[in-house]
Structure 1
Amino acid sequence: MKHTRITALAAIGLAATLSLTACSGDGSGKDSSAKGASTPPSVASSSSSDSDPKSGGSSDSGDATANDTKPDSGGQDTQAGTGSTNGTAKSSNKVPFCKTEDLAIDATNAAPDKTSGRIDITMINRGSTTCSATGFAGVDIKDADHTSSPIERGPAQPRITVLKPGDAAIFDLAYTIDTTGNSLASPTNILVTPPNETHTVSLEWPAAAGQIKGAYTDVQVYPTHTTK
């Protein structure tokens, strides 16, 4: 009986040992499955690589934006060109300047008193079209010693002087009259170049004009204006 009981106990102990071994094997199986569950990080890295095309897409949109700006700049260039054309059209509508050959020019003494010298130079439009004599005429005074001196401009602003056929414009030479009789100036001619012209006419110095006090640099020319 004892032998049989011992044998039974031994069998039970062996069964218990096998049971513990089986439990230990199941635990290792769970560990391997846990390791298998840790594989999602590789999936995460794959999704991060998918984000690269997205960044590439944003650079493409940047290129598209740059291309969109080009037509705008082209439009600005076109507008500038249009403005330039309009400017040319306006300039072509201006009244042409009077030509020397179309003007009858004369000089007369117009001194208001015995100390203020003034010579009026009149220009009449003998041409067939309207023209502009606006501005300062070029004036030189020729002396008896055959030298000529340019006359400086007086402190005045030019006025619009448009001449229809037959209209007259006038400008003045102003100076101080020398009443001592000791003037060193002996003017014989006035050389006149109309405003914006290059052709000059020579006029005789008016005989009734008073003598010039000082030098020719003290004489001043004033801009043209109409007589109306």
Structure 2
Amino acid sequence: MRVHKLTFATLAVVASLALTACNEEDLTGQSNPSAASTASPSAGGSDQGSGTDSTGEDSTGKSSTGKSSGERGTVAGTGSNENGTVDKCRTDDLDITAADSTIGGDTEGTVAVELKNGGGRDCVLSAYAGVDLKTSSGTLSAERTGQGADESILKDGESTFFGINYPINESGGSGVRVTALVVTPPDETKSFSLEWPGSATLPASDGSGSPVKVGPIGSAGQGGQS
């Protein structure tokens, strides 16, 4: 009986040692989770050297749209303003000239005024320009003819014309001497003064209204015919 008790005790010790060794092998064979989470991507990975950050830009400074972060779009519409609209013509945008366009046999004299857009952009003209004649008797303002006038776009580099009609001095007297023509573009307050190209004098006014008439923008063609 003593021999059997020793044998059983020895087997119990051996079994305990084997179990301990097995447990130690399992523990040393486990992978380290923290080591796996810090591993770098494999060579040649799709996000090496060209990854995008939270702003959507990649390492070259371009966004997913293909434009670099500093690029901006351009405003459509040649000659238009930045907001895409066409503003009215300013006095400083226009080259204003005048020429005598009276045809022999006419009962009235005619001066054609040319407005040429030199402002580098398209602009809008409409209705009537203001016209004043500087004379030896003071300023004489032209009256509108009353013709209808539509708004029109004057493209950069192009011209439009309007006519001024005035009575020819056939009285035999000295009349009223004209010294200058003053033109104020529509919807503007800045005027442009130039030499009067028509007859040097007007007949004396009887005070019943201005004898000088101005047509709307576009009422005279090239050459001054209305």
Q: TM-score under structure 1 normalisation?
A: 0.54
Q: Does 1:209 align with 2:225?
A: no
Unaligned 5+ segments in structure 2 are: 1-82
| Rounded Cα–Cα distance in structure 1 between residues aligned with 2:162 and 2:175 | 25
Q: 1:113-154 deviations in whole A, cap 9, x for unaligned? A: 342211111010001111012110011110135x21221111
Query: Structure 2: how far apart are the matches of 1:106 and 1:134?
Result: 18
The aligned residue for residue 68 of structure 2 is none
- How far the C-alpha of 1:94 sits from its partner, in A, is 5.5
Please state if 1:116 is matched with 2:108: yes
| RMSD of equivalent CA atoms | 2.3
Percent identity over the alignment is 31
Match of 2:93 among 71, 83, 102: 102
Pick the aligned partner of 2:213 from 203, 220, 223: 220
User: Paired residue for 1:143, among 129, 135, 146?
Assistant: 135
**Unaligned regions of 5+ residues in structure 1, if any?**
1-91
| Other-structure match for 1:9 | none
Q: Distance in 2 between matches of 1:195 and 1:106?
A: 16
- The answer to which structure has the higher helix fraction is 1
Matches of 1:106 and 1:153, distance apart in 2: 20
How far, CA to CA, are the matches of 1:161 and 1:188 in structure 2? 32
AA at the equivalent of 1:213? P
Query: 1:212–1:126: structure 2 CA closer, same or farther, 3 Å change rule?
Result: same
2 CA distance for matches of 1:193 and 1:140? 9
Distance 1:101 1:180 in 2: 39
Question: TM-score when scaled to structure 2?
Answer: 0.54
After superposition, residues 1-228 of structure 1 pair within 5 angstroms as 95-114=86-105, 115-145=107-137, 147-206=138-197, 209=199, 211-215=201-205, 217-225=210-218, 227=221
CA contact (8 A) 2:141 2:212 kept: no
Q: Distance in 2 between matches of 1:220 and 1:183?
A: 21
Contact 1:161 1:169 in 2 (8 A): no
Alignment CA distance shift 1:140-1:177 (3 Å): same
Q: Assess, with a 3 A threshold, how the Cα gap between structure 1 residues 176 and 200 changes in structure 2: closer, same or farther.
A: same
Q: Which secondary structure state, in structure 1, belongs to the residue aligned with residue 189 of structure 2?
A: coil
Q: Which runs of at least 4 in structure 1 moved beyond 4 Å after TM superposition? A: none
CA distance in 1, matches of 2:204, 2:104: 18
In structure 2, the residue corresponding to 1:113 is in which secondary structure? coil
> Do 1:178 and 1:211's aligned partners in 2 also have CA atoms closer than 8 Å?
yes
Aligned length, in residue pairs: 135
